[in-house]
Chain A
Amino acid sequence: DQQVKQNSPSLSVQEGRISILNCDYTNSMFDYFLWYKKYPAEGPTFLISISSIKDKNEDGRFTVFLNKSAKHLSLHIVPSQPGDSAVYFCAATSLNNAGNMLTFGGGTRLMVKP
């Protein structure tokens, strides 16, 4: 039973436009959410996070929105650049979880076309 789901395996966007990547979760104990970016043959790298006490967090071109009632979060990239082409993983955890175990979604492959 997947507790974190990314229902779109891939997304194609034109350079300069907005990319919106979605993520849904089922575990109501999750209170901290992260997005990771992964290039081929590399490990995932942390991109941005959000605590459940917020509904938005912004870092440059990247903004994460959290809708707790819908158990949904999204990552917005504006404007999208070809270098953003990668696989994006949504992850969730409970800060009360002693091991900080992250539960990952299946990933969305973003392709930004020049």
Chain B
Amino acid sequence: NAGVTQTPKFRILKIGQSMTLQCTQDMNHNYMYWYRQDPGMGLKLIYYSVGAGITDKGEVPNGYNVSRSTTEDFPLRLELAAPSQTSVYFCASSATGGTEAFFGQGTRLTVV
């Protein structure tokens, strides 16, 4: 019962580099989300998807891109990393709208 799996757990990037944060879920959930959590703050929604092939922007999408080619996977792409993207990133999934979301363990990203 893996649930939501995120890789990597930690990463240090230099300014201007790019990377992809991986997220996969094995619960056959239609809905998937990417959140970021800055120190002392709540989680802010970056992007979400209501099903394979469908993605939409959340509250803080700038500097990120996503794709949803399968139900299981929802990778988050950072292009041209900036120090402002230093954060902890959480991927989550839920069965339908109105149900609780299950979260991965998070990816701690530092941009220097």
- Residues of chain A touching chain B, judged by Cβ–Cβ distance below 8 Å, are 4, 6, 9, 32, 34, 36, 41-46, 49, 89, 93, 95, 97-107
Contact = CB atoms under 8 A, between A and B. Distances in A.
B50 A34 contact: no
B31 interface: yes
B97 A89 contact: no
A13 B35 CA distance: 30
B41 A106 contact: yes
Interface residues of B, number: 28
16 contacts: A34-B100, A36-B103, A41-B105, A44-B90, A46-B100, A98-B50, A99-B48, A100-B31, A100-B96, A100-B99, A101-B58, A102-B33, A106-B42, A107-B40, A107-B41, A107-B42
Contacts, number: 66
Interface of B: 4, 31, 33, 35, 40-45, 48, 50, 56, 58, 90, 92, 94, 96-106
A105 B92 CA distance: 17
A41 to B, nearest CB: 7
Given A43-B103, A89-B43, A104-B43, A95 B4 contact: no
B98 A43 contact: no
A99 B31 contact: yes
